[in-house]
Amino acid sequence: MIYKRFAANLRAQNWFAIGIELMIVIIGVFIGTWVANWNQERAERRAAEKMVQELRPGLRVFIDFFDTAKPYYATTIRYSNEAFAGWRGEPGVSDRDFVIAAYQASQAYTLGLNAVTWTQVFGGNQLSRLEDSGLRTDLANLMSLNFEMIDAPAIYTTYRENVRKVIPEDIQDGIRRECGDRAHPDLPLTQFLPEPCGLQLPAERWAAAASDLRAQPELVRELRWHRAAVAAFLSNMELFEQQTRAVMARIGASDTEEQDPS
């Protein structure tokens, strides 16, 4: 209809009416574009908010790891103390306890994730659509952390490798079977390390393995380095834990605001 009026006004050279018609068309196109963009931005914002909620299970896995890694490594540190005592020949440490402690001190438990997953889910555009600036900052900080600091390369030291070259395979198999890493009974996808270890073998097997370990004094220095690596691992983990809990708190605060009718 508007086109017919426009053609008629053009034939009649009614320039004022033509201007009005053109203005109506331009305004209509502008409003239509604005509404389309607004709807698209709204949909994208909702999608970003939904992704934040979907991150919650992954963040929960992180926190469960932090909560179980601390007692896990407290156990390995106690074993390493006993191993040091065994290398010093202290009378209170039997050959059996020495060998088990030397092995258990090398045990490692890592998160096994990296930031690539986060950046794939939350690229720069997705992150910018979040309305909560605090959440954007906290999530960006978490994504930017180097997850290798709490992954296997940070804790797989030469001690872990070399002590397992010395301890006979049947003893290693027995330790892993009787008191190796165990699935945590309360937290899925997490582990704990049993203490003490009840593995029993003939005394001569323990004596031979202990003698082999004492014949490798360099393992003592490597265990000291391993202890330092564990300390660095736990220190770095605190940074990840703080940032993860900050994101979880932001998500929780957003949930509360959405549910608050005021």
Which tens digit of pLDDT belongs to each residue from 145-160?
Answer: 888 889 899 999 999 9
Q: What does the chain come to in residues?
A: 262
154 within 8 A of 232, measured Cβ to Cβ: yes
225 within 8 A of 57, measured Cβ to Cβ: no
Percentages of the chain per state (helix, strand, coil), in multiples of 5: 75, 0, 20
Burial 240-260 (b: 16+ CB within 10 A, else e): bbebbebbbebbeebeeeeee
Range list of H helices, the chain? 2-11, 15-88, 95-104, 115-121, 124-128, 133-144, 152-155, 158-166, 169-179, 203-214, 218-259
Distances (CA, A) of 245 to 52, 57, 182, 206: 14, 13, 26, 45
**Contact partners, residue 63, CB within 8 Å, separation at least 6:** 241, 244, 245, 248
pLDDT at 256: 46
pLDDT at 145: 82
Distance from the first to the final alpha carbon of the chain:
48
pLDDT at 4: 59
CA atoms lying within 13 Å on the CB side of residue 220: 13
**Contact partners, residue 190, CB within 8 Å, separation at least 6:** 64, 65, 67, 68, 183, 184
User: CA-CA distance, 147 to 61, in Å (whole number)?
Assistant: 14
- Read off the tokens for 158: 């030469």
User: CA-CA distance, 245 to 237, in Å (whole number)?
Assistant: 12
Which residues of the chain fall short of a pLDDT of 50?
6, 10, 256-262
pLDDT at 261: 46
Residue 115: name the closest of 96, 137, 142, 136 by CA.
142
Residue 227: name the closest of 155, 177, 143 by CA.
155
Question: E strand or H helix at 183, and its extent?
Answer: strand 182-183
pLDDT at 258: 47
pLDDT in tens, 93-128: 999 999 999 999 999 999 876 556 655 555 555 667
pLDDT at 257: 46
pTM score of the predicted model: 0.78
pLDDT at 156: 95
